[in-house]
Amino acid sequence: MTTCGPHVDHNLKRKRKRPLTIVLALETSCDETAVALVNSRAPYGQQVLASQVASQVASHAPYGGVVPELAARRHVELLPHLVDQAFGEAGIGWDEVSAVAATATPGLVGALLVGLTTGKTMALLHGKPFLAVHHLEGHLCSAQLTGGPPPEPPFLVLLVSGGHTQLVRVDGPGVYQLCGATVDDAAGEAFDKVARLLGLGYPGGPAIEAAAGGGDPQRFAFPQGRVSRTGGGYEPYAFSFSGLKTAVLRCIEGLQRQGEPLPVADLAASFESIVATVLSSRSVRCALDQGLSRLVVVGGVAANHRLRQALEQRCREEGLTLVMAPLAFCGDNAAMIGVAAGQRLASGCQSPWTIGVSPRLPLHEAGSLYGPHPPF
């Protein structure tokens, strides 16, 4: 199924009054095939001309998670058609494209290879520069797609997705400092695992949110997953969701031994509530301790309404400005990759043609994707 994101300007051709910097961006890091055309007015003010996202959820749902080989094959099948649809939606041709970008890391290697190879091939064929983009840098840039003024650095970012949960201080484009992260499961991964325990299917985030709608979030007191600090005390900005998942499992097993019907709605609501509490409280504390007045929230789990409400309440209480990525751009999409590439392009960056892909690369090393000696 292909859907288009918001903030797409279908009247661009009538409004065009000055030269634009347009990036064709591809995103294939996991199980979403995405293509976007983004007009980048560096360093901010990005405008999405077209955004196409094809979900593979139906293909992977029978397996309870993403099958890497299947994801890569679907990317091969879908990508050419999405590129054509994006150009049609934007109403432009290759002569108006300034550069091509694709996600290179982190992600599933086979899936990344499809997007990177396609992107480099198109760039070579059409004589355009190519930019390999860090997936997490793309998520950080998704907050610039609100349609309003972008957040001014410095600010703190809560990046919470299926594979990552991090607190990142942003002092400018490409200037990142990791303040906190999960020591085990990411929040999105915990949602998937708990959904499986409750028999709610895949993906877990939307399934748990739907089930929790009619549940009591106070019925079960699940742990907040504190991380011990060497020498005593706890790490204030670290996250741990593995123990929370185990606590839900033990609770389910106890209820089953007692022969009670499983209160799925209450379990889902209690789990969702504690995750929202942990993420919001530690994020706000980190922002305050860093002396920052702005908190930015991005990533797939940022679409969760209970989390958004918890963040709004805590930021309001502490006088922080909260900026959340639009719902349509919380999950994996190519528009955010185009924004990240546009910022790098404005700084004169370009990736070497020899660059490959990698399943992981620390965010603070994202700049190495544009040096003469690529990291992989």
Cβ-defined contacts of 59-62 (< 8 Å, 24+):
59/31, 60/31, 60/202, 61/201, 61/202
Looking at residue 260, its pLDDT comes to 85
**Cα–Cα distances in angstroms (integers) from residue 307 to residues 124, 313, 331, in the given order:** 43, 10, 15
Looking at residue 231, its pLDDT comes to 87
Looking at residue 14, its pLDDT comes to 36
**Cα–Cα distances in angstroms (integers) from residue 217 to residues 49, 222, 301, in the given order:** 41, 10, 18
The two tokens of residue 22 are 């347009």
Residue of 105, 114, 112 whose CA lies nearest to 77:
114
Instruction: Specify whether 191 is located in the same domain as 101.
Output: no
Residue pair 311/283 in contact (Cβ under 8 Å)? The answer is yes
Q: Is residue 150 part of a domain?
A: no
Separation of alpha carbons 376 and 372, rounded Å = 12
Instruction: Specify whether 136 is located in the same domain as 21.
Output: yes
Which parts of the chain have pLDDT scores under 50?
Answer: 1-18, 42-43
Instruction: Specify whether 236 is located in the same domain as 293.
Output: yes
Instruction: Specify whether 294 is located in the same domain as 351.
Output: no
Q: Compute and round to an integer the Cα radius of gyration of the chain.
A: 21
CATH for 276: 3.30.420.40
Q: Which amino acid is at 360?
A: R
Instruction: Specify whether 210 is located in the same domain as 247.
Output: yes
Instruction: Specify whether 259 is located in the same domain as 341.
Output: no
Q: Is residue 376 part of a domain?
A: no
pTM for this entry: 0.91
Q: How many domains does the chain have?
A: 2
Domain that holds residue 54: 2-145+330-370
Instruction: Specify whether 336 is located in the same domain as 319.
Output: no
Q: Which of 325, 344, 360 is the last residue of a domain?
A: 325
Instruction: Specify whether 203 is located in the same domain as 87.
Output: no
Instruction: Specify whether 23 is located in the same domain as 117.
Output: yes
Instruction: Specify whether 130 is located in the same domain as 186.
Output: no
Instruction: Specify whether 133 is located in the same domain as 189.
Output: no
Looking at residue 61, its pLDDT comes to 87
Q: Which residues make beta-bridge pairs with 167?
A: 158, 180
Q: Is residue 105 part of a domain?
A: yes
Q: Is residue 186 part of a domain?
A: yes
Instruction: Specify whether 317 is located in the same domain as 175.
Output: yes
